[in-house]
Amino acid sequence: MTALADVAGDEAGGDSPPLLSVEHLTMRFGGLVAIDDLSFTAREREITAIIGPNGAGKTTVFNCLTGFYQPTAGRLTLHTASGPRYLERMEGFRIAQAGVARTFQNIRLFSGMSVLENLIAAQHNKLMRASVFSLAGLFNLGRYRRAEHEAMELARYWLDKVELLELADENAGNLPYGAQRRLEIARAMCIAPVQLCLDEPAAGLNPHESAELNELLMVIREQHNIGILLIEHDMSVVMGISDHIVVLDYGSKISDGTPEEVRNDPAVIRAYLGEDDDDDGLAAGGERQ
Amino acid sequence: MAVASLATEKSLDMAAVIKESAIAAAVAFALAIFMVGLETVPGGNGLTIVTRFGAVGFTVALVFVGRMGFALLRLGHPWPVLVGAGAVMGLLIALLLTDNTALLPFPSKTVNWMVVLFAAVIFIRAIWMVGRGGAVAEVDSDSVMDRIGASVQRSARWIAPFAIAFALLIPFMPFADRRFLDLAILVMTYVMLGWGLNIVVGLAGLLDLGYVAFYAVGAYSYALLALNFDFSFWLSLPLAGLLAATAGVTLGFPVLRLRGDYLAIVTLGFGEMVRIILINWYDFTGGPDGLSSVPRPTFFGFPFTRHPGEGVVSFNQLFDIPYSSLHRIIFLYYLILVLALITNAFTLRIRKLPLGRAWEALREDEIACRSLGINPTNTKLTAFGIGAMFAGFAGSFFATRQGFISPESFTFIESAIILSIVVLGGMGSQIGVVVAAILLIGTPEWFRDLAQFRMLAFGAGMVLIMIWRPRGLLAHREPTIRLKAAAVSKESEP
């Protein structure tokens, strides 16, 4: 209950309505508790970062949110215009259809297909509806041609945003690393999500590319009114653009607040830098289990 | 000049070349001494053994010389290879053309021609190297074939009409006798099956080793519908496709979670299950006896018979031409050609539609598909279902052509051949399937005079292709949609 109270306390400070609320999320793999009673709220038009040392359970949170794992306990609510959707028992592809898009820590592009095809394939459901499950498309009816044209325009828009317009007809697998990262974000945006989940988007980028990524994420937030959930180790990205930071350690939330608050939180400093009382933190973690 | 001097330095190591060639010759000897050297011949008192040590000697010598040729080429020494391979080639061609069988190394003409072919390959590589001033060309061979593959795919637009026109004219060619047309029908059937399986394996990336099961379902569907309910071919054809598609979806459900090797094993089991059901359900399928007197095809109701029954107009009477037994064969040929072209047109179109793109996306990365809201269940099931549907169409064609079907025709080797066609042709490549079907189905016919070594030659050919082109003969993928092309067509449209 204290966790809930904490969340409520933080919410009082926020101004935009909540978009995604995570309540008492717990994920166990056999005896291992990967996430322990985690609660936080991500808001519309806010960039929420989840940080923490290696193995803190950040990616597990994403996998629960996007349906790759079924959480052991807890409630995950996506507040959409048509009412709340409960994600914890939905299949992965339905969660994506509901408006949660994600990227992966180790990039997962359709590497044998062209850059443009990656973005068109992401608009699958829209095009399937327009083509009446491909039947109208078989006979090349105008209805499908219009939908394909629109899909193409959306793809072109995002290619322009991530500066890949010139490489649109290249094989996605042949792109340089940074371009593949940007393409994965563009592909996620092509499903027109309300919540974008990015798993270490700045991993492997040089400082210049990280700065560009920051700008891109700000643009997405400002112009598309969506929430961004971010797992990141690169503190220049996290501190530079986040509105709200959640810090995890050993599967539990140890801090939650604005970048300024988190930066000065002794618990965070302890988890990252490991002061003398590191053992106490471990013991506390053990007690919580 | 630098290259030449480098080559001379390398040439000093003749001992290593001879050693390498000797090892290859020893391996050839070990293989050939039993397979080539000894032959069992039915004699008066059971089998007697005939020795052919001359052929073994020639084999070992040819392997020794050939390996030496490759080694010298690798070390940048084209001239002796050029002369040697040219001499062997010229001598053999001269002997073959003058029909001087006594001096030829092997009794079979086909084998001698294959030796000429290998000599020619080495000869051409030597010429290539001379042309490049001794540079080693081995590294490039793959990219050269890639470029050929790419240009073939791009020029498909121009090649395709000619290929179709040629296919349409085949029955009127002077060489098109009964035997040739039968072979053409067989090749076309495998082209259609290859195109059907290409949807499942090439596009959706689901390795299916039991594809022949759907072929069997189609064949038995037509045979049973026609024999029990007197359904015509044209009514049975869509029903057979539908039933095969149902079988495909039925197989699809239990294997949804499987991938790669595991999927392959389950589909293999499914193929065997269907065959065993066909053997054991005697009352329904006729068991191992099969179903005979399956109705022959009619020209939309006009039969191809010399003596039609009372009140029935036969095909030759309809067009007022003399009866020929070839009419039915030619009709069958056109029937399978049209069915195959429909399969091809469907696949080419579906690749550009959301469903086809979802199949390809699924092949590339299933997890990414799920994260984009693509329903993997539906996508897999449609691939299985549609792939199976085309096998069902081909199956009912097979039943009407043969007039007799039995479980014997639907063994695992059929699935393996169809899969080989898809893989050898280059996964997902439509033209590759045609080339591979002609090679795999056509050449074993050409190797007929090798008798029991026919399948050995077939296997060796497949191994060679896979060494030379591990991704298939024409593995090159063109994007289904282009930003640049779209911009151009948009300008020209309104």
For B205-272, the three-class secondary structure string (H helix, E strand, C coil) is CCCCCCCHHHHHHHHHHHHHHHHHHCCCHHHHHHHHHHHHHHHHHHHHCCCCCCCHHHHHHHHHHHHH
Q: Is B416 exposed, middle or buried (0-12, 13-18, 19+ CB in 10 A)?
A: middle
CATH code of the domain made up of A105-192: 3.40.50.300
pLDDT in tens, chain B (494 residues): 444 444 444 445 788 888 888 999 999 999 888 887 887 788 777 788 888 888 888 889 888 988 888 888 887 777 888 888 888 888 888 888 887 777 777 777 777 888 888 888 888 888 887 777 655 544 455 566 666 667 776 676 777 788 888 888 888 888 778 888 999 999 999 999 999 999 999 899 899 999 999 999 999 999 999 999 988 888 899 999 999 999 999 988 888 888 778 999 999 999 999 999 999 999 888 888 888 888 888 887 777 877 777 777 777 778 878 778 788 888 999 999 999 999 999 998 888 888 999 999 999 999 999 999 999 999 999 999 999 999 999 999 999 999 899 999 999 989 988 998 898 888 878 888 998 898 888 877 776 666 666 677 777 777 887 787 777 777 777 788 887 655 444 443 33
Of B355, B375, B484, the CB nearest to A93: B375
pLDDT at A130 exceeding the cut of 50:
yes
Distance from CA of A25 to the nearest CA of B (A): 21
Q: Closest chain B residue to A105 measured between Cα atoms?
A: B368
Name the pTM for this structure.
0.79
> CA of B355: how far to CAs of A131, B351, B368, in Å?
10, 7, 16
Separation of alpha carbons B173 and A202, rounded Å: 65
Q: Is A58 exposed, middle or buried (0-12, 13-18, 19+ CB in 10 A)?
A: buried
Write the pLDDT tens digit of every residue in A55-88: 888 999 999 999 999 999 999 999 988 888 898 8
Contact A101 B376 (CB under 8 A): no
> Which is more confidently placed, A285 or B150?
B150
Tokens of B392: 């069902």
Q: Give the pLDDT confidence score for residue B6 in this predicted structure.
A: 47
Separation of alpha carbons B313 and B275, rounded Å: 39
Contact A104 B372 (CB under 8 A): no
Using an 8 Å Cβ cutoff, are B412 and B211 in contact?
no
pLDDT at A191 exceeding the cut of 70:
yes
Give the CA count within 13 Å in the CB-facing half-sphere of B450: 18
Contact A92 B479 (CB under 8 A): no
Residue B126, H or E segment? helix B109-131
Using an 8 Å Cβ cutoff, are A249 and A241 in contact?
no
CATH code of the domain made up of A1-99+194-289: 3.40.50.300
Contact B354 A108 (CB under 8 A): no
Q: Give the pLDDT confidence score for residue A134 in this predicted structure.
A: 65
Distance from CA of A222 to the nearest CA of B (A): 23
Q: Give the pLDDT confidence score for residue B1 in this predicted structure.
A: 41
Of A94, A108, A144, the CB nearest to B365: A108
For the sheet containing A244-249, what is the strand order?
A: A100-102, A195-199, A227-231, A47-51, A244-249, A252-257
Distance from CA of A43 to the nearest CA of B (A): 21
Distance from CA of A157 to the nearest CA of B (A): 12
Contact B355 A94 (CB under 8 A): no
Distance from CA of A132 to the nearest CA of B (A): 10
Residue showing tokens 């290619």 = A159
- Chain A residues whose CB is inside 8 A of the B346 CB are 138
Using an 8 Å Cβ cutoff, are A232 and A47 in contact?
no
Domain range list for chain B:
13-136, 176-299+326-484
Give the percent of chain A with pLDDT over 70: 87
Domain with CATH 3.40.50.300 in chain A: 1-99+194-289, 105-192
Q: Closest chain A residue to B364 measured between Cα atoms?
A: A110
Distance from CA of A107 to the nearest CA of B (A): 9
Q: Closest chain B residue to A130 measured between Cα atoms?
A: B354
Contact A116 B375 (CB under 8 A): no
Distance from CA of B73 to the nearest CA of A (A): 33
Q: Which of A148-162, A234-248, B246-260, B301-315 has the lowest mean pLDDT?
A: B301-315
Q: Closest chain A residue to B205 measured between Cα atoms?
A: A112
pLDDT at A225 exceeding the cut of 60:
yes
Distance from CA of A152 to the nearest CA of B (A): 8
> Which is more confidently placed, A279 or B166?
B166
Of A97, A112, A131, the CB nearest to B354: A131
Phi and psi angles of residue B197, each rounded to the nearest 5 degrees, phi first: -70, -25
Write the pLDDT tens digit of every residue in A251-266: 899 989 998 898 888 8
Residue showing tokens 């991993």 = A203
- Chain A residues whose CB is inside 8 A of the B370 CB are 67-68, 91-93, 96
- Chain B residues whose CB is inside 8 A of the A158 CB are none
Q: Give the pLDDT confidence score for residue B4 in this predicted structure.
A: 45
* B-interface mutation test, from A97, A114, A146, most B Cβ less than 10 A away: A114
Separation of alpha carbons A268 and B283, rounded Å: 76
- Chain B residues whose CB is inside 8 A of the A156 CB are 483
pLDDT at A115 exceeding the cut of 90:
yes
Contact A66 B371 (CB under 8 A): yes
Contact B365 A110 (CB under 8 A): yes
- What fold does the segment set B176-299+326-484 form as a domain? ABC transporter involved in vitamin B12 uptake, BtuC (1.10.3470)
Q: Closest chain B residue to A65 measured between Cα atoms?
A: B371
Where b means 16+ CB within 10 Å and e means fewer, B232-261 reads: ebeebbebbbebbbbbbbebbeebeebeee
Q: Closest chain B residue to A114 measured between Cα atoms?
A: B479
In B, what residues contact A, Cβ < 8 A?
Answer: 346, 349-350, 352-358, 360-361, 363-365, 367-376, 477, 479-484, 486
Q: Give the pLDDT confidence score for residue B129 in this predicted structure.
A: 78
- Chain A residues whose CB is inside 8 A of the B486 CB are 152
Write the pLDDT tens digit of every residue in A164-181: 988 888 889 999 998 999
* Diameter over CA atoms, chain A: 72
Contact A134 B372 (CB under 8 A): no
Distance from CA of A260 to the nearest CA of B (A): 33
Of A102, A137, A144, the CB nearest to B371: A102
- Chain B residues whose CB is inside 8 A of the A67 CB are 370
Q: Give the pLDDT confidence score for residue B215 in this predicted structure.
A: 95
Give the percent of chain A with pLDDT over 90: 35
Q: Give the pLDDT confidence score for residue B91 in this predicted structure.
A: 86
Residue B60, H or E segment? helix B53-74
- Chain A residues whose CB is inside 8 A of the B368 CB are 104, 108-110
Using an 8 Å Cβ cutoff, are B193 and B409 in contact?
no
